[in-house]
Chain A
Amino acid sequence: MNTTIDTILEPASLPRKLSLTRIVYPISLKPLLVLLRGGAARRHTTTALSANVWALGMTSLLTDVSTEMVTSALPLLLVFHLHASPAALGAVDALQQGAVGLARLLGGLQADASRNYKRTAAAGYLLSALCRVGFILSTLPAHFALFLSVDRLGKGIRTGPRDALLALSAPPEQQARAFGVHRTLDTAGAMLGPLVTYLVLRVLPGNYTSIFVLSLAFAALGVGVLLTYATDPAESPAEPSLSARGDLVRLLSDRRVRRLALVATLLGVTALGDHVLYVLLQRRFGLAPDMLPLLYVATPAAYMVLAYPVGWLADNYSRRQVLCLGYCALLCAYLVTLLELPLWLGVGSMVTLLGLHYAATDGVLMALGSACLPRAAQATGLAALATTNSLGRLIGSLAFGLLWSRTSEVMAVVLFALGAAIGIAVCFWLLSHRFSPALSGSCAPPNS
């Protein structure tokens, strides 16, 4: 527990000097060179990832097949067969976002208090699996909305403990890689789900019950894998468990955690949702509407392919730089919408940049956060990071909407990109130990 933040943020022990060029060009070509050379850092990657990482990855894969089967079938069922209005679906989604954030924190807190990450995560997965039974029995749009909300609650509950279990299952120098493996499997599941739905509807047209039955089976298998193959990390008696509300307050008032949460929020603010970018792409490039669903498949595919190599890069080079690089990739995606490019090049670069963005940010932020959090507060802390990050994304989207309504489309993108560039630079500065003495200290909690 005496690992310093320096060695975690910079495992490949890079020059400590932060030159002016580093500030001006926070993203150097070095990650690419390291990746190309490969050998330079191979010693870090010799150990195989623990069985836990694979177990959690498979659980997520199976659960995501299940979830995406339902989410790809529900709009069709609700709108075409049960005559709900699409607007109502949107409203339900918006409502759920807030509830998920809260459930995530509660799930994290429960896991940290009981020190039983596996059981808490399993409870979340089980809750979602039981919703499939609800879907099978549902006949009215309101039933589906209810069970969909409970499903999202389950998703919220399990996120914190699952990420904590992932982080604690890998040695510090392999955490980003572990998250990379997990996110690859997770995304693979998300891409398989709609395919399964399609196949089922081909065999049994209009039989949505069969989709829910199969979805239940996948979800149950996911819970089964988790319960059978995942194990809680060995107890370290030196670390008291986070048991009371006072401990949470202490955790949240810890300067390092606060700073990390601030960074997660700020980075989130610089990010526009895929949805907005696709709309921009459509308006600027005249993308045909039926090409749109293709983007929703291509971007996860890029993410799936890139998650592991980028995680490896983060472990062997610098998580801080890879994280900022990921947000810069998104910045480039904004700029793509401003360029006069052939359609295929615009779409291709957008998909690649978005995939790179998710690969370099989602798991890497968790790996970075995990290193900075006391062991007793892993689940709560990671859940808080995920929640503040998505809160930031919400603020960013609202800000962009406001800019768009006050100025023109192009001006909004330019201004937002400018703001995002400043935001990323500030985050890079906040994360760099040189300018942030608090982050360079030990990551153990202040009082233990």
Chain B
Amino acid sequence: MRPPTRNFVLFASLCGASVAAYFWFALRMPESKYTPPPEASNAAGAGFSVEVLRRAPHLYYRSARKDEFGKVVIAALAAPEEARVVTQVSCERLYMDRRGGLCLAYDRGALVPNFRAHLLTPELTTSSTLPTAGFPSRARLSRNGSYAAITVFTTGDSYDSDFSTRTNLIDRSTAQAMPDLEQYTVLKDDQVFKHVDFNFWGVTFFDDTHFYATLGTRERTYLVTGDASTRTLRVLREDIECPSVSPDGKHIAFKRRAANPAVTHLHVLDTQTWNEAPLTAETRHVDDQVEWLDDTHVLYAVVDPGKTPEAALNLWLTSITDGGPPRLFVRGATSPSIVR
């Protein structure tokens, strides 16, 4: 061997040996700073069963805790930290009602990113599966459960991309995806409003076929109201993102960009008077589409960026009326849905 080749072979062997050594240790110590262990345990739910929990008001959420990362948890509203059962279903986003629900999932083991929307039965088994176009963002159900609404990011995973979302309704009875919201007719001041850069996200239903959502175009956001049966959308107001309508339909909680455009704060809109007010009790950056615990309390995830995933993600509860500070509702949880 010529000396340069000998040096290279030595160097390559050194690289190979180091990698082999690393993997030898890594395989023996499966814990890494990002690793959720593959097996979830039911230990936390000892003494409770899904059937018992489902009889009283309960909530579903996606766990971010270390030994159950990504698993769907069902918990009693009265004692969400104690009375809980960890299921074996994994979702990135989920939304449930009494008839079952919607689970946006991602197959981590697949060679190419593999995004799916599963329609779930009340027993959390999959009744049908539809492909989706990208990273899950939002999941909601209509009031009587006829439709499911999903929002996904379509280009966030590519090199030369900007923000782009796709929002579809799914007819739950036939398990068919309907045309995405970009195919709907949009009216603004009774004129047809159309632009190629339309993005829709954050659907929230106020009855079984009518909903609110966000329309984003040319750096602006609008609150729109839509009708699933006629496939029309109407622009209501400007500068409203990720609406969520209260159970009684009287309030819409939403996000609005602060002076620092990387930060969004929660606001509440009264649907009778159309008055808006910031939710001053919550001063942190909230990126979630909120869920309503009841007609006066909002529930949402806050990310603490400086912490590890299991410590960073928590559900917080704030009253829209009494001005009291936010209260930690469930630790290590996202994507809540309340079933009353």
Contacts and interface: CB of A to CB of B under 8 A. Distances in A.
B131 interface: yes
A176 to B, nearest CB: 26
A221 B153 contact: no
Contacts of B8: 224-225, 228-229
Interface string B26-45: 11001011111010000000
B133 interface: yes
Nearest to A228: B8
B135 A86 contact: yes
A438 interface: no
B252 interface: no
23 contacts: A75-B135, A80-B92, A86-B153, A86-B163, A89-B161, A90-B161, A93-B160, A140-B305, A141-B305, A201-B109, A207-B30, A209-B32, A210-B22, A210-B23, A210-B32, A217-B19, A224-B12, A225-B8, A289-B131, A290-B115, A293-B113, A294-B112, A297-B112
Q: How large is the interface on B (under 10, 10 to 19, 20 to 34, 35 or more residues)?
A: 35 or more
B34 A208 contact: yes
Contacts of B287: 85
A224 B8 CA distance: 7
Interface in A359-375: none
A226 B110 CA distance: 34
B145 interface: no
Given A87-B163, A213-B19, 19 more contacts: A79-B135, A80-B92, A83-B303, A83-B312, A86-B135, A86-B155, A89-B161, A139-B33, A203-B27, A204-B26, A204-B32, A209-B33, A210-B23, A221-B11, A224-B12, A225-B8, A275-B158, A289-B115, A289-B132
Given A80-B92, A206-B108, A209-B33, A86 B157 contact: yes
Nearest to A220: B15
Interface of B: 4-5, 7-8, 11-12, 15-16, 18-19, 22-23, 26-27, 30, 32-36, 38, 92, 106, 108-115, 131-135, 153-163, 195-197, 287, 303, 305-306, 308-309, 312-313
A87 B162 contact: yes
Per DSSP, chain B at the interface is loop
Contacts of B305: 83, 140-141
Contact of A90 (B112, B113, B163, B309): B163
Contacts of A76: 108, 113
Nearest to A293: B112
Per DSSP, chain A at the interface is helix
Contacts of A91: 162
A401 B312 CA distance: 39
Contacts of B5: 228
B328 to A, nearest CB: 18
Contact of B156 (A77, A90, A289): A90
Contacts of A409: 196
Interface of A: 71, 75-77, 79-83, 85-87, 89-91, 93-94, 97, 139-141, 194-195, 198, 201-210, 213-214, 217, 220-221, 224-225, 228-229, 273, 275, 288-290, 292-294, 297, 401, 404-405, 409
A89 B34 contact: no
A166 B97 CA distance: 63
Nearest to B156: A86
A83 B34 CA distance: 12
Nearest to A288: B131
Nearest to A204: B26
A86 B152 CA distance: 10
A90 B165 CA distance: 13
Given A80-B92, A87-B156, A198-B111, A275 B35 contact: no
Contact of B159 (A93, A217, A404): A93
A102 to B, nearest CB: 18
Contact of B161 (A202, A229, A275): A275
Nearest to B162: A90
B263 to A, nearest CB: 12
A224 B156 contact: no
A289 B163 CA distance: 17
Contacts of B155: 86, 90, 275
B67 to A, nearest CB: 13
Contacts of B132: 289
Contacts of A273: 160
Contact of A217 (B18, B38, B114): B18
Identify the 6 closest CB pairs spanning chains A and B, nearest first.
A86-B156, A293-B112, A289-B133, A87-B163, A206-B35, A228-B8
Contacts of B312: 83
B163 A81 contact: no
Nearest to A276: B160
Nearest to A223: B11
Contact of A206 (B15, B34, B115, B131): B34
Contacts of A220: 11, 15
A442 B263 CA distance: 59
B300 to A, nearest CB: 14
Given A80-B106, A81-B309, A405 B196 contact: yes
A75 B157 contact: yes
Residue of A85, A139, A194 ringed by the most chain B CB atoms within 10 A? A85
Contacts of B196: 401, 404-405, 409
A85 B111 CA distance: 22
A101 to B, nearest CB: 14
Contacts of A94: 160, 162
Given A87-B163, A209-B33, A228-B4, A204 B15 contact: no
Contacts of A204: 23, 26-27, 30, 32, 35
A267 to B, nearest CB: 18
Contacts of B110: 198
A214 B112 contact: no
Contacts of A205: 35, 38, 108-109
A82 B309 contact: yes
Nearest to B133: A289
B32 A208 contact: yes
A87 B287 CA distance: 12
Contacts of A80: 92, 106
A383 B187 CA distance: 49
Contacts of A140: 305-306
